[in-house]
Structure 1
Amino acid sequence: MGKRKVLTGLLVVLLLAVLVISGCSSSPQASSDQGAQASGKLDKMTLQLKWLPQSQFMGYYVAQAKGYYKEQGIDLQILPGGSDIIPEQQVYNGVADVGVTWVSSLMKYQSQGWDLVHVGQIFQKSALLLVSKTSKGINSPADLKGKKVGSWFGGNEYEIYALLEANGLNKEKDLKLVQQDYTMNQLLNDQLDAASAMTYNEYGLLLEAGMKESDLHVIDMNDAKVAMLEDCLFVKSDWIAKNADLYQRFLKASIKGWQDACADPAVAGKTVYDADKSVSLDHQVYMAKEVAKLVEPQGFDPAKIGYTDMNAIKQTGDLAHKYGLLTKPAVISEDTFASKYWQQATGK
């Protein structure tokens, strides 16, 4: 009996020592995350993309591939978008928990009474360009007069409207706006004088088609002072009210994924390509390198990925109202553009 008591006492002492050491080395958040993993139960979440799987969304794919969501106790399903999928509708109807959309588009739905909340800004700059062949002689926005200019419309046209009016052009009388497809063939075949292009996608298609940068002239919406913010994260207000902790964990994992993706876009492009071979590996890598410039512009602190610049939000809202996307000024408040979730997730 004496030996048993001694052994039992030693086991108790050892157990207490392990518990003390574990407690000292774990933060409350780490303990929470470890508890979620230890239980084996992951919180299910769905993320609705604005478009097809491509490096535009590389941060989420990198975070998923590296297990960052699982580390935060999340089982994330990434839903691809498409021309017939509207992220705002998907989130509002409960098909997805979190969505990716352009800020101007989100403002439109908010203005219609949809209880959607902006909860993170991934792109810090606009990626929209108007591209023309140098042979067309379009060296400034004023040179668009009398030309055929392509737009995808569907909410993508308002920066162009702002550009035109800011340079004294009437969109109805001074030029012809043409429905543009998602290739750049209309520009290559001279059916358009100038075409819309995203820095990370369509501009690259022109280069891949054999055009040289010296063959092209670019009008950048940022340089023209008419930029409107693009890819952001948004949720339904009643969902975030019940799932603030879940969203913050999602955001932590996503930011980590975006930081890795921007630090090594070649690997990020390969990760997206492996997830869905919708375009070539070379194009995914090209896209990744260009997207990194939008998420982390020159001089931008990687620790601030997801940060919302309220001045840029206001500019987007002002332009959206002035040029007809919104019938009344955007409501910009903590209820519609909530910064607290990013602040709590990052500790900033």
Structure 2
Amino acid sequence: MKHQIMKIAGAALALGMAASAAAADTIRIALAETPSPEMAAFFVALDRAKANGLDYEWTAFADEELAIQAVLSGQMDIGFGTPYAAMQRSKAPLRIVFQLSKLKFFPVTSKKYSDLKDLDGEPILLHSRGGGTDSIANVIEDRVGIKFGERSYLPGSENRVVALIAGQADATILDLANKNKIMAQEPDKFNVLPMFEVDASDEALFANLDWIKNNEEAVDIFVKALVSVWQDMSADPTIISRETDPDGPIGQLPQELRDGIDQFYAEAVAGGLYDPDGGGRKAAMADMEWYSAAGQLDGDPSTLNIEDFWYLAPLDAAMN
């Protein structure tokens, strides 16, 4: 078996031809960020897949867009992200095979606001222009009937927590871990505004359909491992820390980060961040609605065909 290989890719990749039709000896996985405790479950799944015969390498890219470009160009085989705009507009037949996590983000504000409607005309601090939190802000505007004021951008939920505490912003959108962090530190200073339920994908695994069909056995091993971990985690979140390889990328993180893995996964499972069934058709339909409202898909979501965006055969096989 080949060991994991970590490369940090910073330069943009030119869009090129889709992945080669030849079957791969080693699956090349494009991560959208460097390994962190929030990715521990994914690496546990990789270890299970490796035990069942999967050879793989992984590359950590600086952001989702670079990971998408790497798959589009054929440099990488399977990637992290929700590349709906690229799916619809590029000639490469990209397809999602597994929902890694749902869009569970939380509007966190100073005490001057108590409801999403209070943010009409108010400035908001987001992660990046065109990114996930920008999409969430678009959907909030659409569903609640408001219009945010000036949007400013600061990558990293943890950095937006610092900005809130320092009084540099009054409203932002945070992930689960950092929402919990700020409310534990400063419960009297901030509100978590009520938010509508979302089943749409935040992170998913996608690949070129031609590559998937030419590597069916490897993809099936990978998806079955993911399903097994997501279902085991749903029953007992501590399985992630117990199965984390101490010599792997998560096991080599600083102790203070690894110490929070059990708490993170307990809160994430309780908060509905992970679908133990890998998303499937429910997630695909939710994605059509969400990413259409977010401006990343063109057309009426009711007319979009989920099979133009998802390839469900590996997940169906894993669930049977």
Give TM-score, length-normalised by structure 1: 0.71
Question: Aligned partners of 1:337, 1:91: CA distance in 2, in Å?
Answer: 16
Q: For residues 252 and 313 of structure 1, do their structure 2 counterparts lie closer, same or farther at Cα, with a shift above 3 Å needed? A: closer
Answering whether residue 191 of structure 2 is matched by residue 217 of structure 1, we say yes
Give the superposition deviation at 1:130: 1.0
Question: Aligned partners of 1:279, 1:110: CA distance in 2, in Å?
Answer: 39
Contact in 2 for aligned 1:61/1:257 (Cα 8 Å) = no
Give TM-score, length-normalised by structure 2: 0.77
**Residue 255 of structure 1 aligns to which amino acid in structure 2?**
V
Answering whether residue 312 of structure 2 is matched by residue 344 of structure 1, we say no
Quote the residue 1:206 is aligned against: 182
Instruction: Specify which of 211, 231, 239 is matched with residue 259 of structure 1.
Output: 231
Question: Aligned partners of 1:140, 1:283: CA distance in 2, in Å?
Answer: 30
**Residue 316 of structure 1 aligns to which amino acid in structure 2?**
D
Quote the residue 2:78 is aligned against: 98
Root-mean-square deviation (CA, aligned residues, Å) is 2.9
The number of equivalent residue pairs is: 284
Give the superposition deviation at 1:266: 4.2
Answering whether residue 200 of structure 2 is matched by residue 228 of structure 1, we say yes
Listed as ranges, the gaps of 5+ residues in structure 2 are 1-23
Name the stretch that deviates more: 87-96 or 256-265: 256-265
For residues 180-199 of structure 1, what are the structure 2 equivalents within 5 Å? 180-182=154-156, 183=159, 184-199=161-176
Give the superposition deviation at 1:344: 1.5
Give the superposition deviation at 1:85: 5.6
Quote the residue 2:296 is aligned against: 325
**Residue 147 of structure 1 aligns to which amino acid in structure 2?**
E
**Residue 115 of structure 1 aligns to which amino acid in structure 2?**
P
Answering whether residue 61 of structure 2 is matched by residue 121 of structure 1, we say no
For residues 36-55 of structure 1, what are the structure 2 equivalents within 5 Å? 43-55=25-37
Answering whether residue 209 of structure 2 is matched by residue 237 of structure 1, we say yes
Largest Rg, 1 or 2: 1
- Aligned residue for 1:231, secondary structure, equals strand
Instruction: Specify which of 276, 284, 288 is matched with residue 313 of structure 1.
Output: 284
Quote the residue 1:111 is aligned against: 88
Give the superposition deviation at 1:253: 1.9
Q: For residues 165 and 336 of structure 1, do their structure 2 counterparts lie closer, same or farther at Cα, with a shift above 3 Å needed? A: closer
Give the superposition deviation at 1:77: 2.2
For residues 72-91 of structure 1, what are the structure 2 equivalents within 5 Å? 72-83=52-63, 86-91=66-71
Instruction: Specify which of 151, 155, 159 is matched with residue 131 of structure 2.
Output: 155
Give the superposition deviation at 1:293: 3.8
Question: Aligned partners of 1:110, 1:85: CA distance in 2, in Å?
Answer: 13
- Aligned residue for 1:230, secondary structure, equals strand
Quote the residue 2:17 is aligned against: none
Q: For residues 51 and 122 of structure 1, do their structure 2 counterparts lie closer, same or farther at Cα, with a shift above 3 Å needed? A: same
Contact in 2 for aligned 1:63/1:257 (Cα 8 Å) = yes
Question: Aligned partners of 1:84, 1:325: CA distance in 2, in Å?
Answer: 14
Poorly superposed stretches of 4+, deviation over 6 Å: none
Give the superposition deviation at 1:187: 0.9
